[in-house]
Amino acid sequence: MATMLYRLGRTAYRRWPLVLVGWLVALLAVGGFAATQSKPMTNEFTIPGIPSLQAAETQQELFPGSKSADEQVDGQVVVQAPAGSTLAEQPYKGQVDRLVTELRGTPQLAPGAQEQIVSPVVAGPAQRQQMVSAATKQGVPQAVAEQNAQTLSPLSQDRRTGAITFSFDTDDPMSVEPATQAYVERAVERADADGLTVAAGGRGMEKPIKPGATSEMIGVGIALIVLVLTFGSLVAAGLPILTAITGVGLGLLGITAATAFFELADTTITLASMIGLAVGIDYALFILSRYRTELRHTDDRAHAMGRALGTAGSAVVFAGLTVVIALSGLSLLGISMLTSMGLAAAATVVIAVLVALTLLPAIMGLLKHRAFAGRIRRDPAASDSDHHSVNGSVRLGRTIRRAPWLAALLVVVGLGALALPAQNMYLGLPSDATAEVGTSARTSADLVADGFGAGRNAPMVAVVDARERSDDPQSRAMSFNAVAQWAANDPGVANAQVVQVNESSDGGIVLITPKTGPADQATDDLLQRLRDGQGTIERSSGTDIGITGMTAIQADISEKLNDALPAYLAIVVGLALLLLVVVFRSILVPLLATGGFLLSVLATLGVTVKIVQDGLFGIFDPQPIMSFMPTILIGIVFGLAMDYQVFLTTRMREAYVHGMDARDAVIDGFRHSGRVVTAAALIMISVFAAFAFQDNALISSIGVALATAVFLDAFLVRMVLLPSLLLMLGDKAWWMPRWLDRILPSVDVEGEALTKSPPRHLAAEDRDGEPSQV
């Protein structure tokens, strides 16, 4: 591989016009296709086969034409009068009436939805009276009838809060046009005055996630500072950012173009942007740093670029492969949203590798000696032939060498302590109740919880199938009531009542309103208790019961993802372990690298629980960890952790392969790559941390988690724990059975072939003739 990459680097450097034109054509072609053929993305997230969706299918069988909870795209506008006032008083009643009139003109309303948009001041009392009268005639006690009516009322009991709900004519929230959402928002803004609080929420008002330019610019700005300090050159510092942005741009255009053929989640773009930008800068940094080192030994820049790709480029290829394996492994879970996110991010990483291997050498060929212009400080990098210089990384390595067992122990204990909160992790999915505080969606959910109770935001639906019963409709109705009474007896249920019976009287819907909200662990516990006990009521009522609704669907998705984690981890880690055994020609080093990853990811989950779930430092309001965040975190962090393992350990192995003592090779690896790995980690941390300021809770929590993971893994595991273990093991660290060594392919990541049989120098007429000083 080293020889092949050498030729690629040399050719890209010398034939830079062709390479640059090729990348430009690719950008224009993909961009043109994306502009003309792309389709809207989706924020749908379901897993076929989970109990709640099976119950939803039964519901559609019993009630043909009805929509299940995951297909209902509703809007909700909540109004609240000031404390001490009611919505029936002026001027609030008039404001609500005008709001209702305006909302009836909302575009994309479902058929019949316009007539359903009524003032809660009018609809509440009328609906309440009608329901109570009908229920008492059927023998329902007055108190129960009134409680049931109030649970469904659009007006709170104190008449201070009201809800106006309506349905959009679509099955997909992403099909609600921005202009439609803007119409509702303008109506809400006009009504939110003179003491009346108005907020809009619901699935139809959800907005697609878009890459945050501000977040990316913050990360790029910090990365630029780190690169300037690393290279001491303004021009060189800008090159990794230029190539990374080019790669990310092409990747995002490709994802947008792919929507013409596939349904992609709206989170795909942001995740790919985050990962692509971080690895793109890092990969270019490693190759450019090695190129600078090679220029100390030759005045032939094309040859220096070839050697840079033959050594650091090999590490980039295998580092990229580990990230691609980890991200592509998300497709093994069989969840369409995670599959699209993982494959899109993996494709962006592949582009980042190709950019680093071809576009960067071509730009260097264009700039030649000007690549390191704009110097602001002396180049501090050690020469490849210098095995005695001392820098900060060497001092760290020597400090660890004095007591490696103590350094390893401190890291293991520290990471173990950070991991403890992970055992209390509570998973959930985004909803209005977990939206960013201050947003209209969050305000609407808070107003509902305040006026109607937290459970109004977390309804569940029990679908009662009585088709197996052959008795009369009255007996079936008694069964439906028995199911409602069974659910109401649970201490976590605020109300349970039969809200619908089909025409053939063999199917019923029981609405279950919990006492707690959708982001509360107690609500999931309630769902579990109901399912654990439904066998008893099914036998006694002669019916089949399934529980659905968005609350149940989200809980099932979270459980499914949690159960899939061990299998995903085993598959991805297993594949990456095989790759690392090939790269390092060692059994122990890949095992130690993977063990260190497990420590860092558990510690990251523990820190994320404290910051996101418990609200430590006030960055987040306390909220559940997004259900698929741990899965995404494990995939991404494993790939990135192996990146640093490859970059740092290949320099150690390179020194060892070239005859240096095993323990001295560890220090030499620090000497030549510690500074660059540190810079790369700081860049990646800054890029990820910048995404913590996004409005979307999923993206911001992933940003915090990834920044934490890179910090813990790069600086504690890769820079302290693994070197400590290698120092203690000595030659044993690089042991491999001879039979295994013979059958494994030789990939030569260290560029040994270039040292033993160096490629012939270019002919005099092929050299650019520029001086080699950097």
Q: Is the pLDDT of residue 531 over 90?
A: yes
**Look-up of token digits 């149940």:** 552
User: What's the Cα-to-Cα distance from 73 to each of 106, 152, 166, 205, 513, rounded to whole Å?
Assistant: 14, 19, 9, 9, 20
Average pLDDT (701-706) is 84
Question: Are 551 and 523 a contacting pair, CB within 8 Å?
Answer: yes
Helices (H), 295-378: 301-308, 314-328, 336-354, 360-367
- Amino acid sitting at position 251: G
Q: Which of 279, 265, 351 is nearest to 696 (CA)?
A: 265
Q: Given this chain, do its domains 1-43+213-385 and 400-428+561-748 carry the same CATH topology? A: yes
Nearest Cα to 274, choosing from 697, 683, 630? Answer: 683
Query: What pLDDT shows up at residue 772?
Result: 44
**Which residues, in sequence order, are bridge partners of residue 546?**
463
Distance in Å from the first CA to the final CA of the chain = 27
Question: Of 156, 178, 179, 187, which is closest to residue 81 (Cα–Cα)?
Answer: 156
Place of tokens 């004519």: 169
- The mean pLDDT of 149-173, rounded to a whole number, is 90
pTM metric for this prediction: 0.77
pLDDT, mean of residues 300-311: 87
Q: How far apart are CA 600 and CA 415, in angstroms?
A: 7
Angle between helix axes 629-657 and 550-584 (nearest 10 degrees) is: 10
* DSSP secondary structure of 358-377: IIHHHHHHHHGGGGG-SB-S
- Mean pLDDT, residues 348-359 taken together: 93
Per-residue pLDDT of 82-132, as tens digits, reads: 998 999 999 999 999 999 999 999 999 988 888 889 999 988 888 888 888
Strands (DSSP E) contained in 448-576 are 460-465, 493-501, 507-514, 544-548
The predicted-structure confidence for 637-683, as pLDDT tens digits, reads as follows 777 777 777 778 877 887 887 778 888 888 888 887 788 888 888 88
The tally of CA atoms less than 13 A away on the side-chain side of residue 229 is: 13
Confidence tier at 296 by pLDDT (50, 70, 90)? confident
Bridge-based pairing state of the strands 460-465 and 544-548: antiparallel
Length of the chain equals 774
Torsion from C-alpha of 180, 183, 185, 190, nearest 10 degrees: -170
Percentage of the chain beyond pLDDT 90 is 30
> Can you tell me which residue has the tokens 């990316």?
216
| CATH code 1.10.10.10 for 400-428+561-748 | no
CA atoms within 13 A on the CB side of 288: 38
Band of pLDDT at residue 275, cut at 50, 70 and 90: confident
Report the DSSP beta bridge partners of residue 507: 465
Model confidence pLDDT, tens digit, residues 563-590? 877 888 787 778 777 877 887 788 888 8
What angle in degrees, to the nearest 10, is found between the helix axes of 629-657 and 697-711?
Answer: 30
* Overall average pLDDT of the 188-205 stretch: 91
* Residue closest to 443 by CA, chosen among 460, 458, 457: 457
Own/partner pairs, 579-583, CB within 8 angstroms, 24+ separation: 579/318, 579/321, 579/322, 579/325, 580/322, 580/642, 580/645, 580/646, 581/736, 581/740, 581/744, 582/744, 582/745, 582/747, 583/318, 583/646, 583/650, 583/747, 583/749
**Burial of 402 per CB tally in 10 Å (0-12, 13-18, 19+):** exposed
The rounded distance, in Å, linking the Cα atoms of 720 and 463 is 56
| 53 CB burial (10 A radius; 0-12, 13-18, 19+) | buried
Cα distance between residue 626 and residue 210, in whole Å: 18
Q: Residue 719: which of 660, 669, 683 has the closest Cα?
A: 669
Contact 227, 679 (CB under 8 A): yes
**Contact between residue 53 and residue 46 where contact means Cβ atoms under 8 Å apart:** yes
What distance in Å separates the CA atoms of residue 150 and residue 103, rounded to the nearest whole number?
24
pLDDT digits (tens, 9 = 90+) for 365-412: 998 888 888 777 665 555 555 556 677 788 888 899 999 999 999 999
Nearest by Cα to 394 from 691, 723, 646: 723
Q: What is the average per-residue pLDDT within 229-256?
A: 88
- Residue with the two structure tokens 């033993």: 756
Helix axes 234-258, 336-354, angle to 10 degrees: 140
Q: What's the whole-number average pLDDT of the chain?
A: 84
> pLDDT tens for residues 611-633?
888 888 877 777 788 777 887 78
More confident residue, 297 or 441: 441
C-alpha span between 120 and 118 (Å, rounded): 6
In DSSP terms, which residues pair with 166 in a beta bridge?
75
Contact in structure between 502 and 515 (CB atoms under 8 Å): no
**Identity of residue 525:** D
pLDDT in tens, 652-663: 887 887 778 888
Spell out the domain ranges in the chain: 1-43+213-385, 74-207, 400-428+561-748
Average pLDDT of the residues in 595-611: 90
Give CA–CA dist 658/426, Å, rounded: 50
Q: What is the pLDDT of residue 295?
A: 84
pLDDT value for 487: 94
Lowest model confidence (mean pLDDT) among 225-229, 447-451, 643-647, 749-753:
749-753
Pairing of strands 493-501, 507-514: antiparallel
pLDDT in tens, 64-73: 888 777 778 8
Task: Select from 1.10.150.80, 1.25.10.10, 1.20.1640.10, 3.20.20.60 the CATH code of 1-43+213-385.
Answer: 1.20.1640.10
| Tokens matching residue 55 | 């119950």
How many CB atoms are located within 10 Å of the residue 650 CB? 24
Q: Quick: pLDDT tens for 707-753.
A: 898 899 889 998 899 999 999 988 888 888 888 878 877 765 655 66
- The whole-number average pLDDT for the span 535-547 is 91
Distance from C-alpha of 429 to C-alpha of 43, rounded to nearest angstrom = 12
Q: What is the pLDDT of residue 216?
A: 65
| DSSP bridge partners of 165 | 76
Q: Among candidates 514, 392, 369, 382, which has minimal Cα distance to 455?
A: 514
- CA–CA–CA angle 540, 546, 549 (5° rounding): 140
Backbone CA torsion sign across 512, 513, 519, 525: negative
Q: Is the pLDDT of residue 771 over 80?
A: no
pLDDT at residue 765 is higher than 70? no
